Amino acid sequence: MPQTTVNIQDMAFDPDPVKIKVGDSIVWSNEDSMNHTATANDGSFDTGMIPKKGKSKPITFSKAGSVPYYCKVHGKGMSGTVQVS
């Protein structure tokens, strides 16, 4: 299945929103000089800590919908949305 990369840079997720299809996966690539996470508001996924210049393991999305997420380190001020169709 296709894999999309979301870049983390300057305390932001790019692209935002990220648009994928059911069954696709996302890898978050941390281009910042500090650690981050990508954690679903509803708890449906959590990348765990992504070290600076590191990447997450792929997260696969199995159902359609909009999933807001944030960085546990930096709070809801650093957030994004996954849109699965």
Does residue 71 lie within any of the structural domains? Answer: yes
Which neighbouring-strand residues pair with 18?
Answer: 82
pLDDT digits (tens, 9 = 90+) for 27-60: 999 999 999 999 999 999 999 999 999 999 999 9
Q: At a CB cut-off of 8 Å and minimum separation 6, what does 45 contact? A: 38, 39, 59, 67, 69
How confident is the model at residue 84, as a pLDDT? 98
Residue of 13, 17, 61, 16 lying closest to 36 (CA atoms): 13
Distance from the first to the final alpha carbon of the chain: 14
Domain limits at 62? 3-76
1 has a pLDDT exceeding 90: no
Does residue 83 lie within any of the structural domains? Answer: no
Does residue 44 lie within any of the structural domains? Answer: yes
Does residue 81 lie within any of the structural domains? Answer: no
Query: What CATH number should be reported for the domain holding residue 14?
Result: 2.60.40.420
Does residue 84 lie within any of the structural domains? Answer: no
Give me the number of domains the chain comprises. 1
Instruction: Give the C-alpha distances (Å, rounded to integers) separating 18 from 27, 33, 72, 73, 84.
Output: 11, 22, 19, 21, 8
| Token representation of residue 59 | 């997260």
Which neighbouring-strand residues pair with 5?
Answer: 27
How confident is the model at residue 58, as a pLDDT? 98
How confident is the model at residue 40, as a pLDDT? 98
How confident is the model at residue 76, as a pLDDT? 85
Report the share of the chain in percent with pLDDT over 90: 96
User: Can you tell me the distance from the alpha carbon of 54 to that of 60, in angstroms, rounded to the nearest whole number?
Assistant: 19
